[in-house]
Structure 1
Amino acid sequence: MSAVATGKRGSLWQGLSDWANRHRKWVLAAPAIIFVIALMVVPLLYTLVLSFTDAQGSIQRAFDFVWFENYISILGDTARFWPAVWRTVIFTAVAVTLEMTIGMAVALLLRRPFMGRGLVRVVMLLPLVATPVAVAMMWLLIFEPTVGFANQVLGWLGLPAQGWISDPSTALPTLMLVDVWQWTPMVILILLAGLVGLPEEQQEAARIDGASTWQRFWHVTLPMLKTTVIAALLLRSIDAMKTFDLLYVTKGTGGGSSHEVETLNIYAYALSFDYNEYGMAAALVLIYFLIIVGVLVVLNMRRKENRR
Structure 2
Amino acid sequence: MREQKKATAVAAPERELRPPSYWPFVAPALIVVLAVIVFPWVFTIWMSFNEWKVGSPTTFVGLTNYLRLPNDPRFVEAVWHTLVYTALSVLLPLLLGTFAAVVFHQRFPMRGFLRGIFIMPMMATPVAIALVWTMMFHPQLGVLNYLLSLAGIPPQLWVFHPATVIPSLVLVETWQWTPLVMLIVLGGLAAIPIEPYESARIDGANFWQMFRYITLPLITPFLFIAAMIRMIDAVKSFDIIFAITQGGPGSASETINLYLYSVAFIYYDLGYGSAIAVVFFVLIVALAAALLHLRQRTHWAEIGAGA
**TM-score, normalised via structure 1 length:** 0.87
Distance 2:76 2:118 in 1: 37
Could you tell me how far 1:32 is from its partner in structure 2? Answer: 3.5
For residue 287 of structure 2, what is the aligned residue in structure 1? 295
Distance 1:102 1:253, change over 3 A: closer
Native 8 Å contact 2:48 2:274 kept in 1: yes
Identity of aligned residues (%): 37
User: For residues 33 and 89 of structure 1, what CA distance do their matches in structure 2 show?
Assistant: 35
Range with bigger deviation, 122-131 or 199-208: 199-208
Matched, 1:98 2:95: no
Cα displacement (A) at 1:177: 0.7
CA distance in 2, matches of 1:28, 1:300: 33
> Which among 38, 42, 46 is matched to residue 39 of structure 2?
42
RMSD between superposed Cα atoms in Å: 2.1
Whether 1:19 and 2:19 are equivalent positions in the alignment is yes
In 1, the alpha carbon distance for the partners of 2:294 and 2:102 equals: 23
Q: 2:53 aligns with which of 48, 53, 56?
A: 56
Taking the aligned partners of 1:184 and 1:239, their CA distance within structure 2 comes to 13
Deviation at 1:236, TM superposition (A): 0.5
| Equivalences, count | 287
Specify the code of the residue in structure 2 equivalent to 1:284: I
The equivalent of 2:225 in structure 1 is 231
Q: Which is further off, 33-42 or 136-145?
A: 33-42
State whether residues 254 and 266 of structure 1, in contact with CA within 8 Å, keep that contact through their aligned partners in structure 2. no
Unaligned runs of 5+ in 2: 1-13, 301-307
Which residue matches 2:264? 272
* 1:226-247 residue CA offsets vs partner (Å, 9 max, x unmatched): 1111111111011111111111
TM-score by length of 2: 0.88
Aligned position for 2:197: 203
Per mean C-alpha deviation after superposition, the further-off stretch among 260-269 and 205-214 is 205-214
Amino acid at match of 1:49: W
Q: Secondary structure at the match of 1:276?
A: coil
Is 1:20–1:27's contact at 8 Å kept on the other side of the alignment?
A: no
1:154/1:54 Cα in 2 relative to 1: closer, same or farther (>3 Å)? same
Question: Using the alignment, how far apart are the partners of 1:129 and 1:48 within structure 2?
Answer: 35
| Residue 67 (structure 2) pairs with residue 72 (structure 1) | yes
Counterpart CA distance in 2 for 1:231 and 1:173 is 24
Q: Give per-residue Cα distances to partners, 1:193-251, cap 9 Å, x unaligned.
A: 11111111112112212222222112111111111111111110111111111111111
